[in-house]
Amino acid sequence: MRKLIVAANWKMNKTPEEAGIFVEEIKSGIADANADVYVFPPFLALQTVSDVLKDTDVKVGAQNMYIEDKGAYTGEISADMLQSIGINSVIIGHSERRQIFKESDEMVHAKLIKALSKGMTPILCCGEDLETRENNKFMDFINSQIKSAFADVSESDACKVIIAYEPVWAIGTGKVATGEQAEQVCASIRSTIEEMYSKETADNIHILYGGSCNVGNAKELFSMPDIDGGLIGGAGLKPEFVDIVHCKEK
Ligand code: PEP
């Protein structure tokens, strides 16, 4: 039985001070959930948010990291640096990184391998843009993103990855995928994992939905058989996140 996972990706929002105030406000609400809860603040707020949440089970993660341990990579942050302040989870391949910062499938794959080699929990994002959806090529597109990311990942590492299916046309647009649309893709991702590994790994791996998820649609989405929770952007910056975390309990 897979446990519900609800994760907030704050993107480039909140100073350390604002992050500290907000997380104090939602702390008791997210700490007592019947779910694994993750918060992904900007790098500068990681320490503050970790300090506030230190006596809870809520996990604090990074939104990105680089593939090398150290060196001449101006502006980058390594897994070792994150782990030195107790950060052990990381979002990899978010569509904003792929589109705005031109991260290729190869780079996403290398980041996944690095995170796993460091014992971190990667949240691996995949998802199609509007054109690919409208051309009805989305299933092949997403499954090729999955195959490329998981190439050379061992079966024992594969089930440590949390996959987030995030249709690009639904991110920050208010245009949410229906439960059926999201389920169709998440079920297909699970079949791809079964093909690559085994039924056991496919049954154990967590697959989240992300894209304009909010308190009004989370319960329907998270109740689909192959959707194990959500990666939440905009609504993760608001007190509403607490209700999303608890949505299946009501
Ligand atoms: C995201 O960026 O991961 C996301 C799901 O954003 P939003 O919920 O704002 O669509």
pLDDT tens profile 12-54: 999 999 999 999 999 999 999 999 999 999 999 999 999 999 9
Q: What is the dihedral of CA 213, 104, 120, 2, to 10 degrees?
A: 40
Average pLDDT value for the chain: 97
Alpha carbon separation from 190 to 23, 55, 208, 216 (Å, rounded): 33, 34, 11, 26
pTM of the entire structure? 0.97
% the chain with pLDDT above 70: 100
Cα of 231 from ligand 1 centre, angstroms: 7
Q: What is the dihedral of CA 76, 79, 80, 84, to 10 degrees?
A: 100
Rounded CA gap, 191 and 34, in Å? 27
pLDDT for the residue 215: 96
Cα of 198 from ligand 1 centre, angstroms: 30
Q: Ligand 1: which residues within 6 Å by Cβ?
A: 9, 166, 171-172, 210-213, 231-234
Record the tokens describing residue 97, joined without a space: 């990184």
Rounded CA gap, 29 and 106, in Å? 39
Mutate to test the pocket of ligand 1, among 96, 175, 208, 212 (most ligand atoms within 8 A of CB): 212
pLDDT beyond 90 at 79: yes
Catalytic residues: 94, 166
pLDDT beyond 80 at 250: no
For atom 6 of ligand 1, the residue with the nearest CA is 233
Cα of 36 from ligand 1 centre, angstroms: 18
Record the tokens describing residue 154, joined without a space: 């061992």
Long-range contacts of 94-98 (CB under 8 A, 24+ apart): 94/9, 94/63, 94/64, 94/125, 94/166, 95/125, 95/127, 95/129, 95/166, 95/168, 95/171, 96/11, 96/171, 97/64
Cα of 41 from ligand 1 centre, angstroms: 13
Q: Give the start-end residues of each E strand in 88-238.
A: 89-92, 121-126, 162-165, 206-210, 229-232
Nearest ligand 1 atom to alpha carbon 213: 8
The mean per-residue pLDDT over the stretch 165-194 comes to: 95
pLDDT for the residue 86: 98
> pLDDT, tens digit, for every residue of 136-177?
999 999 999 999 999 999 999 999 999 999 999 999 898 889
pLDDT beyond 90 at 192: yes
Query: Helix H segments across 53-178?
Result: 79-84, 95-100, 105-117, 130-134, 138-150, 155-158
Of residues 35, 23, 115, 113, the one with CA closest to residue 77 = 115
Q: Is 238 exposed, middle or buried (0-12, 13-18, 19+ CB in 10 A)?
A: middle
The mean per-residue pLDDT over the stretch 71-86 comes to: 98
